[in-house]
Structure 1
Amino acid sequence: MDLSGLNGSPGRLTSAIRPGDRTSLRQQNLALQAENAFLRQQFADQNDRIAELENRLKQYENPHTPSSKQGGAGNQQNSDSEQDDENEDAGSDSDAASDSSPGRNPGHEGTTQPPPDPDTTVRVGEAYCHDCGRVLTDPDEYVSRIIVDIPLPIPIEVTEYELGKQECSCGNEVLAEHPDCPETGRFGPHLLAQTALLRYHGRLPHRKQAELFDWQLDHPVSPGTIYNMTERVADRLRPAYEEIRASVRESDVIYCDETGFPVDGDQQWVWTFVTDEEVFYTIDESRGSQVLEDVLGDELAEDATLSCDGWSAYPSYHRKLQRCWAHLLREAKYVAERHEEAEVISEILHDLHEDLTAFDERDPPASARERRRAQASLCLEELVRADYESEEVTQLAEKIRNGLGCWLTFVTEPDVDSTNNRAEPALREQVVMRKVFGGLRSETGVRIHETLATMVATWEHRGLDPPDQLKSALGGTRPDSLREVSATELR
Structure 2
Amino acid sequence: MKIPPHLVGLSKRDIIRRNILLESRIDELEKQVEDLKRHLLAYENAHTPPSQKRNYPKREKKEGAKLGTPKGHKGVTRQTPEPTEFKSLSLDCCPHCQNHLGKPKRIEKRIIEEIPDPQPLRIIEFSIPHYYCSYCNTEVIATDSELPKVGNLGNNLQAQIALMRYEDRLPHRKIANTLNRQYGLLLTPATIFDVTRRVCDQLLEIYNNFKQEMRNASQLNADETGAKVNGLKHWFWVFMSLTTVLFCLRKKRDYKVIIEVLGNDYGGILTCDGLKQYAKVIKRIQRCWAHLIREAKFFAQKYEGQARVLYNSLCELFVKIKSVNVETTIEVRNKIFNDCIRDMQSYINTARSYKELKKFAVTIENGLHQWFTCILYPEIEPTNNRAERELREFVVQRKIFGSLRSEKGMIITETIMSVLATWKIRNLNTYSMLRATLSS
TM-score by length of 1: 0.80
Is 2:262 the partner of 1:279?
A: no
Structure 1 residues 264 and 42, CA gap change in structure 2 (3 angstroms): closer
Is 2:128 the partner of 1:157?
A: no
Shift of 1:466: 0.8
Shift of 1:298: 2.3
The corresponding residue for 1:22 is none
Contact 1:300 1:318 in 2 (8 A): yes
Match of 1:342 among 307, 310, 314: 307
The corresponding residue for 2:256 is 290
Rounded Cα–Cα distance in structure 1 between residues aligned with 2:373 and 2:27: 47
State the secondary structure of the residue aligned to 1:322.
strand
The aligned runs of 1:353-372 (5 Å cut-off) are 353-358=318-323, 360-361=324-325, 363-372=327-336
AA at the equivalent of 2:437: A
Is 2:37 the partner of 1:54?
A: yes
The corresponding residue for 1:7 is none
AA at the equivalent of 1:449: T
The corresponding residue for 2:183 is 217
AA at the equivalent of 1:160: E
Shift of 1:98: 5.3
Of the structure 1 ranges 320-329 and 28-37, higher mean CA displacement relative to structure 2 is found in: 28-37
The corresponding residue for 1:166 is 131
The corresponding residue for 2:161 is 195
Shift of 1:106: 5.8
Is 2:79 the partner of 1:96?
A: no
Structure 1 residues 353 and 44, CA gap change in structure 2 (3 angstroms): same
Rounded Cα–Cα distance in structure 2 between residues aligned with 1:454 and 1:366: 37
The corresponding residue for 1:9 is none
Structure 1 residues 134 and 109, CA gap change in structure 2 (3 angstroms): farther
Unaligned stretches of 5+ residues in structure 2: 1-6
Contact 2:351 2:361 in 1 (8 A): no
The corresponding residue for 1:378 is 342
Match of 1:235 among 201, 204, 213: 201
Rounded Cα–Cα distance in structure 2 between residues aligned with 1:107 and 1:381: 44
State the secondary structure of the residue aligned to 2:398.
helix
Rounded Cα–Cα distance in structure 1 between residues aligned with 2:274 and 2:187: 47
Rounded Cα–Cα distance in structure 2 between residues aligned with 1:133 and 1:27: 106
1:190-209 alpha-carbon deviations (Å, 9 max, x no partner): 22221111111111111110
1:93-135 alpha-carbon deviations (Å, 9 max, x no partner): 4443254xxxxx6674552422432335364435654xx4547
Contact 2:326 2:378 in 1 (8 A): no
Match of 2:414 among 450, 463, 466: 450
Contact 2:169 2:397 in 1 (8 A): yes
Larger radius of gyration: 1
1:29-88 alpha-carbon deviations (Å, 9 max, x no partner): 858777766765665555444433332332222100134543x1x55869xxxx9xx6xx
Rounded Cα–Cα distance in structure 2 between residues aligned with 1:56 and 1:162: 64
Rounded Cα–Cα distance in structure 2 between residues aligned with 1:285 and 1:219: 37
Is 2:49 the partner of 1:66?
A: yes
Rounded Cα–Cα distance in structure 2 between residues aligned with 1:351 and 1:341: 15
Match of 1:116 among 67, 82, 86: 82
The corresponding residue for 1:351 is 316
Shift of 1:171: 3.6
The aligned runs of 1:310-459 (5 Å cut-off) are 310-339=274-303, 340-358=305-323, 360-361=324-325, 363-386=327-350, 388=352, 390-459=354-423
TM-score by length of 2: 0.88
Is 2:152 the partner of 1:186?
A: yes
Structure 1 residues 187 and 62, CA gap change in structure 2 (3 angstroms): same
State the secondary structure of the residue aligned to 2:228.
strand
Structure 1 residues 115 and 322, CA gap change in structure 2 (3 angstroms): closer
AA at the equivalent of 1:347: N
1:131-158 alpha-carbon deviations (Å, 9 max, x no partner): x454766552654434432333224333
Structure 1 residues 96 and 185, CA gap change in structure 2 (3 angstroms): same
The corresponding residue for 2:424 is 460
Rounded Cα–Cα distance in structure 2 between residues aligned with 1:346 and 1:34: 51
AA at the equivalent of 1:165: H
1:376-427 alpha-carbon deviations (Å, 9 max, x no partner): 1111112222464554310000001112131111110122111111100111
State the secondary structure of the residue aligned to 2:176.
helix
Rounded Cα–Cα distance in structure 1 between residues aligned with 2:191 and 2:164: 14
AA at the equivalent of 1:182: P
Structure 1 residues 430 and 355, CA gap change in structure 2 (3 angstroms): same
Contact 1:341 1:388 in 2 (8 A): no
Contact 1:152 1:217 in 2 (8 A): no
Pairwise CA RMSD: 2.8
The corresponding residue for 2:218 is 252
Structure 1 residues 135 and 251, CA gap change in structure 2 (3 angstroms): farther
AA at the equivalent of 1:66: P
Contact 1:293 1:317 in 2 (8 A): yes
Aligned residues: 431
Shift of 1:300: 0.9
Unaligned stretches of 5+ residues in structure 1: 1-24, 100-104, 476-480, 482-491
AA at the equivalent of 1:152: D
Rounded Cα–Cα distance in structure 1 between residues aligned with 2:153 and 2:99: 51
Contact 1:307 1:419 in 2 (8 A): yes
Contact 1:258 1:271 in 2 (8 A): yes
The corresponding residue for 1:14 is none
Shift of 1:357: 0.9
Of the structure 1 ranges 336-345 and 401-410, higher mean CA displacement relative to structure 2 is found in: 336-345
Structure 1 residues 378 and 391, CA gap change in structure 2 (3 angstroms): same
Kindly, what percent of the aligned residue pairs are identical?
31
State the secondary structure of the residue aligned to 1:228.
helix
Contact 1:256 1:274 in 2 (8 A): yes
Rounded Cα–Cα distance in structure 1 between residues aligned with 2:122 and 2:99: 43
Rounded Cα–Cα distance in structure 1 between residues aligned with 2:116 and 2:281: 56
